């Protein structure tokens, strides 16, 4: 289970890094579109950039929430209290990892039943 927790933390770190990079370039694009020489010109899709920015912020909040859930569940497992949760802590970690099952390093043994 420790391998899964470590692997999942790395996936969340990667998600955060990629999302922060996208957020940066989205904000740069929004600023560029406010350039005076572009005012009044039709730029297809210009109105979608704030939506992308919002999605990035939501994704960062989602990654943070997943980290908190993972930390709580991993704490129960590390403290030997998983039995007290009737196995829920381990299942929560396995469920959190499912969206990343197509990434390198995911093991079929981690897939919840």
State residue 82's pLDDT score: 78
Which sign does the torsion angle of CA 75, 66, 30, 22 carry? positive
What are the CB-based long-range contacts (under 8 Å, 24+) for 98-106?
Answer: 100/8, 100/11, 103/11, 105/7, 105/10, 106/7
Q: Which domain holds residue 95?
A: 2-110
State residue 100's pLDDT score: 97
State residue 5's pLDDT score: 96
State residue 85's pLDDT score: 79
State residue 40's pLDDT score: 66
Asked whether 70 and 5 are in contact (CB, 8 A), the reply is: yes
Tally of domains in the chain: 1
User: How many residues does the structure list for the chain?
Assistant: 113
Asked whether 111 and 94 are in contact (CB, 8 A), the reply is: yes
* pLDDT tens, the chain, 113 aa long: 789 999 999 999 999 999 999 999 999 988 888 777 776 666 667 778 889 999 999 999 999 999 999 999 999 888 888 778 788 999 999 999 999 999 999 999 999 98
Question: What distance, in Å, lies between the first and last C-alpha atoms of the chain?
Answer: 15
State residue 96's pLDDT score: 97
The single residue listed with the structure tokens 């197509």 is: 102
Q: What is the pTM of this model?
A: 0.85
Which sign does the torsion angle of CA 92, 112, 10, 15 carry? negative
State residue 6's pLDDT score: 96
State residue 41's pLDDT score: 66
């Amino acid at each position: 289970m420790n391998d899964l927790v470590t692997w999942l933390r790395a996936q969340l770190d990667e998600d955060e890094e990629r999302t922060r990079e996208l957020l940066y370039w989205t904000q740069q694009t929004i600023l560029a579109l406010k350039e005076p020489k572009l005012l009044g010109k039709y730029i297809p899709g210009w109105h979608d950039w704030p939506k992308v920015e919002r999605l990035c912020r939501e994704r960062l909040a989602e990654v943070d929430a997943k980290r908190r859930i993972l930390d709580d569940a991993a704490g129960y497992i590390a403290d030997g209290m998983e039995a007290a949760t009737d196995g829920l802590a381990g299942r929560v970690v396995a469920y959190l990892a499912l969206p990343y099952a197509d990434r390198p390093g995911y093991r079929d043994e981690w897939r919840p039943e």
